[in-house]
Amino acid sequence: MIGQYTRRKVTNYLMLTLCGLATLAAIAILLLVVGYTAVNGLPYLNLEFITQTARPLGEPGGGMRNEIIGTLILVGLASAIGLPVGLLAGSFLAEYGDGRVGTAVRLVADVLTGVPSVVIGIFVYIIMVRSMGTFSALSGGVALAIIMLPIVARTTEEMMRLIPATYREAALALGISRWRTIISVVIPGAMTGIVTGSMLAVARITGETAPLIFTALGNRFGFSGLLNPIAAMPLQIWRYATSAYDTWHQQAWAASFLLVIFVLFINISVRWLTARRYGYTR
Amino acid sequence: MSHETDWERPLEQRAKIVVERLNAWYGPVHAIHDISLTILDRRITAVIGPSGCGKSTLLRCLNRMHEVQPGARAQGEVLLNGENIYASGVDPVTVRRRVGMVFQRPNPFPTMSVFDNVAAGLKLHSLLSRTRFADTVERALRRAALWDEVKDKLKKNGAALSGGQQQRLCIARALAVEPEVLLMDEPASALDPMATLAIEDLMRELVQDTTIVIVTHNMQQAARVSDKTAFLLANAQGAGELIEYGDTPQVFTNPKDERTEAYITGRFG
């Protein structure tokens, strides 16, 4: 009896230690990434970095204004395309997706989530860039929207399915039509979850580099219309980081840190939103 | 063809709903079998019977809510004021505006205020209606005996009320669209005795100008509140059948069928 009890206790401590170590490793990596980019990037992050455009090589100073604006435009463009389509697709899956069509769409969405982003970049390159004859902000936005789409659609579906059937029935029993029930009862109930999923999708595409190489290309001269190449922070980081110049490396670090902060900010906002939601219903 | 007997015929009262040979299924499962009965205008009809006898299914067939569930279907006739609500071309949405429903668990919309909950049936009926609903909302809340308790918190969330208040809010919500018939699926089973009595008093008030059908597990409740009682029992195949239907005092004091007697005296169920 005692032997068995001791063994159980030892096993328990052993497993607990292993779990603790694994958690520690995961957190340590995150802290290392954030810390390393902060140490290397923070010294070069200043007002000039955000408000100034890039200077020619050899001239000190300069910043990433064009790239920051470009990334905001690209993310905005991608959201303008990806969010509505994803929302509608998710609503379809949640409300009418029990048949064969729904199963097929769900499978395609899951596969799309796993497609490497560089492949999506090449796809958009062939479909849009080649046929339009130019790299463009628009094609970059489309590539990022395709990456967003399955994430938004699947989280929207999951969140809408969480709304208890009793609320749908209450609405239907009032003589409210099906589509009105979805819009006025189901979607508002799932709103926090849908917003959370959408923000995570935005965070995900903000740092995407590979699909932009084939589509947005980059642009040293600032925004010049949606049908022309556009600058983007991840692209500039990639170019500066692979260059041979120390000043460019420093700028790449500063831009990396800015990106990490942006993504971190979105993630923390999401945590805050969800925490508020549970505080409100419980 | 019809197996009507004396107790099924309306006496001198007017029929509101006539159910003719109604059958309902959940996928392959036969839930109710050949039920025919007449529900009288401005009376409370109670449907009683043990669990799984098809009470709720019968109720849900009366406003075409049964078919909302995947795989569910119904066959037969349900005549509302003489018109078959299962006739082809009848829009279930229209039927549900005339035959309202209150569920077992209070289910006010959690994203809406008390006011919006009551106005939901009116507001969400069309995109264009820009009418003001204040009068209708107040009237519905008064009829549901809830106005005095919530008149100062109309903007508060409906889910913040007590269980009994939530259920009366759901009744007010159903009343706001002014249905001719109110179906109540065990409306008090999740409530405490005081809230239950409040709901029962309310039903006696409402039946002055509406027709009420209530499903209940609680036989005292059926005896207290209803004018007519229908007793359902599952047959050997598990499908619910109507065993007895008559005036409530008669069903409870002098049942014609021995199975009814066995059930109301508590020998099974």
Four-CA torsion A47, A51, A55, A59, nearest 10 degrees: -30
Closest CA to A145 of A216, A94, A196: A216
B103 touches chain A (CB under 8 A): yes
B172 touches chain A (CB under 8 A): no
Tell me which residues of chain B, numbers 53 to 72, contact chain A at a CB-CB cutoff of 8 Å: 63, 65, 68, 70
In a domain, B118, yes or no: yes
Query: What is the average pLDDT across B145-149?
Result: 92
A180 touches chain B (CB under 8 A): yes
Q: Which CATH number is B163's domain given? A: 3.40.50.300
Q: Please tell me the predicted confidence (pLDDT) of residue B266.
A: 84
Q: How far, in Å, are B55, B73, B106, B187 from residue B51 at the CA level?
A: 8, 20, 20, 16
From A95, which residue of chain B is nearest by alpha-carbon distance?
A: B70
ipTM value for the complex: 0.87
In a domain, B20, yes or no: yes
In a domain, B115, yes or no: yes
In a domain, B246, yes or no: yes
In a domain, B74, yes or no: yes
Q: Judge: B93–A188 Cβ closer than 8 Å, yes or no.
A: no
B73 touches chain A (CB under 8 A): no
| A11-15, A116-120, B17-21, B129-133: segment of lowest average pLDDT | B129-133
Q: Concatenated DSSP letters for A158-208?
A: HHHHTS-HHHHHHHHHTT--HHHHIIIIIHHHHHHHHHHHHHHHHHHHHT-
In a domain, B1, yes or no: no
For residue A90, give every residue at least 6 positions away whose Cβ sits within 8 Å of its Cβ, in sequence order, or none: A152, A153, A154, A155, A156, A157, A159, A160, A194
Q: Could you give the CA distance from residue A67 to residue A262 in angstroms, rounded to a whole number?
A: 14
Instruction: Provide the domain count of chain B.
Output: 1
Q: Please tell me the predicted confidence (pLDDT) of residue B127.
A: 54
In a domain, B241, yes or no: yes
How close A151 gets to chain B, by Cα (Å)?
25
Q: What is the pTM of this model?
A: 0.81
List of chain B residues whose C-beta atoms are within 8 Å of the C-beta of residue A180:
124-125
pLDDT tens profile B227-242: 999 999 999 999 999 9
In a domain, B269, yes or no: no
Residue B134 pLDDT class (50, 70, 90 cuts): confident
- Provide the residue range defining the domain that includes B78: 6-264
pLDDT tens profile A70-117: 999 999 999 999 999 999 999 999 999 888 999 999 999 999 999 999
Determine how many CB atoms are found less than 10 A away from the CB of residue A184: 19
| A127-141, A184-198, B2-16, B195-209: segment of lowest average pLDDT | B2-16
Largest CA distance in chain B: 57
Q: Judge: A173–B65 Cβ closer than 8 Å, yes or no.
A: yes
List of chain B residues whose C-beta atoms are within 8 Å of the C-beta of residue A177:
93
pLDDT tens profile B154-184: 999 988 899 999 999 999 999 999 999 999 9
Q: What angle do CA B33, B49, B65 make, to 5 degrees?
A: 60
